[in-house]
Amino acid sequence: MDPKIDSSAPISTGTTIIGVTYNGGVVLGADSRTSTGVYVANRASDKITQLTDNVYVCRSGSAADSQVVSDYVRYFLHQHTIQLGQPATVKVAANLIRLLSYSNKKMLQTGMIVGGWDKYEGGKIYGVPLGGTIIEQPFAIGGSGSSYLYGFFDQAWKEGMTKEEAEQLVVKAVSLAIARDGASGGVVRTVTINSEGVTKNFYPGDQLPLWYEELEPQNSLLDIQTEAVPMSI
């Protein structure tokens, strides 16, 4: 092990997760970079996890913590469905995550966004940030990239969006966070949930919108040709 690396130092985790409601369902989106400090441990991870056929969760913070919470909730919801004989609602799934997060708030370092559709309330988004609070919202953003997106959503969000508008908003927002946040990156994954079922989409990095001063994707850094300009002193 490199003696210059402090193994006891806190691990800085970063991501960008988004949940948006639209007229008929919800769209969840996330980047794919999993980092451990300054290292990228996985550049193509899937941060949108299925809980039931109609409910998914976006995970941020500690990958291990969010994965174990998702596993427990998936198990509890499976038992819940067997006992009731019908799928669990989005609210039930979100409250289970809230219960586990709050009961173990001193040990867990994770924030999650629960989204889905059920026949009672339609499409719903619930934010469960660090500490276990539960908040029902028309849209929710989380992770380190979210600090770059609050003003953007204040301007871009609107009621009654179509499915296509919500999908475009999520992809645009995640690409903006990737451009500005060093801990977010990779590809963009989205999951759309409505009365017709679930649709998953994948957007490679070279198909994302470019923002101010971003370079176009290149196969090699040697392909970037720039004219030499004398430096002024």
- Structural domain range at position 122: 17-223
* Domain count within the chain: 1
pLDDT above 90: percentage of residues in the chain: 76
Residue 4 lies in a domain: no
Phi-psi region of 61 (alpha: psi -120 to 50; beta: other; left: phi over 0): left
Degrees, nearest 5: CA angle 164-157-121? 70
Residue 231 lies in a domain: no
pLDDT in the model for residue 220 = 73
Confidence band for 216, pLDDT divided at 50, 70 and 90 = confident
Give yes or no for residue 221 having a pLDDT over 90.
no
CATH of the domain at 77: 3.60.20.10
Residues noted as catalytic:
15
The number of CA neighbours under 13 Å toward the Cβ of 228 is: 1
With 0.75 as the threshold, say if the pTM is over it.
yes
Residue 10 lies in a domain: no
